[in-house]
Amino acid sequence: MAEIIRFRDDEPVDHPAVTVDSFLDQSNANAVRVEPGDDARALIPHLAQLHLVEVNFPAFGDGRGYSSARVLREAGYDGELRAVGDVLVDQVAYMKRCGFDSFEPDTTLDPDTLGAALARWPEVYQSAADTRQPIWSKRHA
Amino acid sequence: MYLYDKYDQAMVDARVEEFRDQARRRLEGKLTEDQFKPLRLMNGLYLQLHAYMLRVAIPYGTLNGAQMHALADIADKYDRGYGHFTTRQNIQYNWIKLEEAADLLSDLAKVEMHAIQTSGNCIRNISSDHFAGAAADELVDPRPYAELLRQWSSFHPEFSYLPRKFKIAVIASDKDRAAMRLHDIGIRIVQNEAGEPGAAFYVGGGMGRTPMIAPCIREFVPLDQLVTYSEACLRVYNRYGRRDNKYKARIKILVHELGAEEYTRQVEEEFAHLQQQGIEPPLAELERLKTYFADPPFDDGPKTVDRSDPDFALWVDRNTIRHKHDAHVSAVISLKPIGGIPGDASADQMHLMAELAKQYSFDELRVMHTQNIVLPHVRIADLPALWARLDEAGLGAPNLDTIEDIIACPGLDYCSLANARSIPVAQKISERFSANGKTAALGELKLKISGCINACGHHHAGHIGILGVDKKGVENYQLLLGGSEAEDVALGKITGPGFSEDGIVDAVETAADVYLRERSDGERFLDTYRRIGIDPFKEALYG
């Protein structure tokens, strides 16, 4: 298991995340793991209780986790949102835009390549779950 | 046409550098082919039978002379001196080296072009009406709306790893020249009863192995909610589209399995939510985009031309289209010479088309999804000079929308997915009908050929469609009749057992002869087919 890359300053949750089903089954847990087939909207009534949501990417080509992340951020979740699994350097910039602020890749990411990937995009075309100002907004500021 | 500002240019330049870095990591072995594949695909780079193929985006099929010159230069510098215009209004090059692909993308970026999202499971290049801004029958020019969605869909962080590829078309006329309802999302710009402009959304169409005609899921989306509504359509698809079977992963299957009503309900629910998120560009952005598509300075001039040369007159009749300004026409440059490869153009021909666009069409060209090129705004007075130059260069074939104007996919000559060759069949059919002289009598007859069930050659939507299959190691061709991609959209029906390569050419002629025998005054092939049904054709083919 590779190290966790975090873009937040608070203390990480130090116990394992539970499944969405067990969390919804009257759990007191504050960390939950969302699988691709889970509907992240089921967590929305419980966001205040959650400190960590892990979104699993069993295969990097399965993009459901991007929507799960954005849905949670749109609902106001401000705890840690961690992409875990087959998380590759060329997907991290998009993941950040969808609201992920920590990453636990199966394979360690090369720090230089990661730095280059995150610095790559000078602008963004759309509004998403990050704070970046879209190009259309700059054009009509 | 649209011109990049500093933001657009910065994004395309960043993409070139990103790809250069990815290609380097692949060549150094730091990326596996499995990891590299979706990255190169999102830059239009496919691995074909013999080499890499690179597909360049031509947004909504519009380009200027400098861009066409650059495409010609790329054909010379990186390929074998030609390119292939596609049914997605793009161009592809078939002989690209991975080591040179980033340099090619860099050359494209210098003329405000790219290969972004021309492949991969993401939102693809957006297509539109090839006569946009010129057609006499359009409500408005659809291209500003297509450009709005192009920018929204470019590098979309949530929708770059969809279940499958995703194609959007935008039109703004009752006439459908973009196969709008055979797209994942088809958008038609309309007016509501109050005279306000908006968009009708058709979702879940497509060709491929399970062809579907998209149902209308909303008749009117206000213009200041276009992006938000599109986002809702995509999010529901990203969430529920099937990922267990790539052949059932397109949105058409989701809409079909859920039912259009349930899919629509979910989209509306997501739309209501997303409207609170402030993701829609202001209408001022749409107004900004519209300024790029303002009419060029059309001038009044002659509305008729000397037709004493019969070859010229035939070309005018077949290959020019009524324009909204009556001293102009849209002129179609056929890339379907008799016996040629549909959609192929040499670098010299591309250079010539670019020069002619500058001289005669306000420096603008269009790529048609039928694999021809349009000069959208030609003065009627200039037609004789234009035709003479085209004819001299072998680009004057007078065959728009005839049986010689065949759509064909690259097929087994290039494509690693194909089961059969398409190009030789197209060549033989155009040679047959040129030789037997029936082309003129047949009139409008749209013939489309695919070399496998993925249907890149749009065979489902041909008045006559041909599907190449592999039958125990031998190429075999099925015949379909009655399809249409236009406003009278329909899916063709298979006539019966398939034919050999030569047999299919005979079968097409047999079907054409049934039409010539049975037609009533003014009927097109498709009209006659719809009136008499498939049985007389079957009888002639198999009876």
Query: Nearest CA of chain A to the CA of B164: how many Å?
Result: 10
Contact A125 B17 (CB under 8 A): no
Contact A67 B39 (CB under 8 A): no
In this structure, is residue B261 part of a structural domain?
yes
> Considering only CB atoms, which chain A residues are within 8 Å of B281?
134, 136-137, 140
> How far is the C-alpha of B150 from the C-alpha of B289, rounded, in Å?
12
- The shortest CB-CB distance from A140 to any of B30, B235, B285 is to B285
Select from B235, B328, B317 the least CA-distant residue to B277. B235
Residue B135 tokens, joined: 């057609």
> Considering only CB atoms, which chain A residues are within 8 Å of B21?
113, 116
- The shortest CB-CB distance from A120 to any of B5, B14, B278 is to B14
In this structure, is residue B54 part of a structural domain?
yes
Whole-model pTM: value is: 0.96
CB B236 within 8 A of CB B151: no
A37 contact B CB<8A: no
Residue B342 zone, left/alpha/beta (φ > 0; ψ -120 to 50; rest): beta
B278, B383: one domain? no
> How far is the C-alpha of B130 from the C-alpha of B133, rounded, in Å?
9
B153, B263: one domain? yes
- CA distances B244 to A34, B263, B454, Å, are 18, 19, 18
In this structure, is residue B300 part of a structural domain?
no
> Considering only CB atoms, which chain B residues are within 8 Å of A62?
161, 243
> How far is the C-alpha of B269 from the C-alpha of B414, rounded, in Å?
44
SS3 state of residue B205 = coil
| Average pLDDT for A54-78 | 97
Between chain A and chain B, the number of residue pairs with CB atoms below 8 A apart is: 104
Residue A2 pLDDT class (50, 70, 90 cuts): low
Nearest CA in chain A to B122: A63
- The shortest CB-CB distance from A123 to any of B7, B161, B278 is to B7
Residue B172 tokens, joined: 């703004």
SS3 state of residue B369 = coil
pLDDT by 10s per residue, chain B, length 543:
999 999 999 999 999 999 999 999 999 999 999 889 988 998 999 988 788 999 999 999 999 999 999 999 999 999 999 999 999 999 999 999 999 999 999 999 999 999 999 999 999 999 999 999 999 999 999 999 999 999 999 999 999 999 999 999 999 999 999 999 999 999 999 999 999 999 999 999 999 999 999 999 999 999 999 999 999 999 999 999 999 999 999 999 999 999 999 999 999 999 999 999 999 999 999 999 999 999 999 999 999 999 999 999 999 999 999 999 999 999 999 999 999 999 999 999 999 999 999 999 999 999 999 999 999 999 999 999 999 999 999 999 999 999 999 999 999 988 888 999 999 999 999 999 999 999 999 999 999 999 999 999 999 999 999 999 999 999 999 999 999 999 999 999 999 999 999 999 999 999 999 999 999 999 999 999 999 999 999 999 998
pLDDT at A3 over 90: no
CB B525 within 8 A of CB B515: yes
Q: What's the confidence (pLDDT) of residue B47?
A: 86
SS3 state of residue B500 = coil
Quote the strand ranges of B192-247, DSSP E.
Answer: 197-203, 216-222
Pinpoint the alpha helices (H) of B341-413: 347-360, 383-392
- The shortest CB-CB distance from B161 to any of A39, A62, A138 is to A62
CB B70 within 8 A of CB B351: no
> How far is the C-alpha of B3 from the C-alpha of A139, rounded, in Å?
14
- CA distances B422 to B225, B416, B465, Å, are 42, 13, 12
Q: Count Cβ atoms within 10 A of the Cβ of residue B303 and give its class: 0-12 exposed, 13-18 middle, 19 or more buried.
A: exposed
B67, B145: one domain? no
Q: What's the confidence (pLDDT) of residue B416?
A: 84
Nearest CA in chain B to A76: B277
Class of domain A5-139: alpha beta
State the best of B28, B40, B239, B245 to mutate against chain A, taking most chain A CBs within 10 Å.
B239
Q: Where are the domains of chain A?
A: 5-139
Please tell me chain B's helix, strand, coil percentages from 3-state DSSP, rounded to the nearest 5. Answer: 40, 20, 40
Query: Nearest CA of chain A to the CA of B149: how many Å?
Result: 10
Total domains in chain B come to 4
> How far is the C-alpha of B402 from the C-alpha of A120, rounded, in Å?
49
Domain extent, residue B507, equals 407-542
Q: Count Cβ atoms within 10 A of the Cβ of residue A47 and give its class: 0-12 exposed, 13-18 middle, 19 or more buried.
A: middle
B256, B197: one domain? yes
B172, B285: one domain? yes
Residues ≥6 apart with Cβ < 8 Å to B295: B133, B325
Helices then strands, counting H and E runs in chain B, come out as 17, 20
Q: What CATH number does the domain containing B280 carry?
A: 3.30.413.10
In this structure, is residue B122 part of a structural domain?
no
CB A15 within 8 A of CB A1: no
In this structure, is residue B297 part of a structural domain?
no
Structure ipTM? 0.97
